Structure 1
Amino acid sequence: MSGTGATHQRPNESFKPKPLRYAVQAAGKACHLARSTTRLSLTLVLGLHGDPRVLGWEVIVYRPVTPDIFIARWKTGVFGLKWLDQLANGNKAIDLGGYGYPNKYVVTAGVLLPIIKAGLPANDSPLVIGDDYVLPEGWSSEVNWNQQEVLACHGSDQLIVEAWDQS
């Protein structure tokens, strides 16, 4: 989705209940219980010290005036936003909150783009094993760039960083 007029579709904002129903159904079939690990119980077993409901993030960067045209996007593990929180704590970004639906930050292009161009900062996200996927420790996807939008950015431009909960 890079190039002229690249747009993005917002992640699904529908309610996502905790998938405990699978464990409850499996409890009646003891031989299948081990296979029916739920995200909630897996998260609790991992002992995350963050929000136990979050397994990862889809991150989208865009200009406030063109929210449907992304500049960059990627996915990352549960602790893959710590560097953004550190920017906010150091007064280099503004944390607008959002509790994952989405979390929002405001950062100037001059601060944000050099960081992600150099490669996403390492994170200490734990191994996550789902029913049909595995996310390794410290996982982040490759950054998908919209080169035309990147080239149009000036250092003082304010950018929005949206981080959508992928649980």
Structure 2
Amino acid sequence: MNEHLQSVVRYLEENRLKLVTAESCTAGMIASALADIPGCGSWLECAFVTYSPQAKISCLGVKAETIETYNLTSENVAREMAEGALRISRANVALSDTGVAGPDAGDGGIPAGTICFAWSFQIDDRITTFSETRRFQGDRNEVRRAGSEYALSRVWHYHNEMLQKKSAP
């Protein structure tokens, strides 16, 4: 296991985080990387791969209007994917992605390599969600790999940001 992944796993364990993934562009790469680690069942709840718009709607509760209004490759869709995955699992953190791996541009001329991410955290009945968009270089699989690594690398950052917001007056 690489050092980066090891630090993410250690963070999940130390903070008693149970993760669900809702992947589109990365098509399960995030969950697969985590599942390679012995003992992953203690912090990996489940994983959804929802590639089509219909799967995002029926499996995760993404609203058709959100897809129509903002496009499949949007932070709005990524946010609804993460929040939907949290609602239907026993996890307390969800990580989602939707994007255009390439080689061609996506609907609306979105450049290849563009991935929208969301990280949702649940404490009691309150869900806090963060999102961002990044563009990665390389061929289709290099983009997917880079996106997977990036998504995992930001869990600690957004978890800490959520904890700071929670403790602010």
TM above 0.5: no
TM-score (norm 1): 0.25
TM-score (norm 2): 0.24
Look at both structures and tell me which one has the larger radius of gyration over its CA atoms.
1
Higher relative contact order (CA 8 A, sep 6+): 1
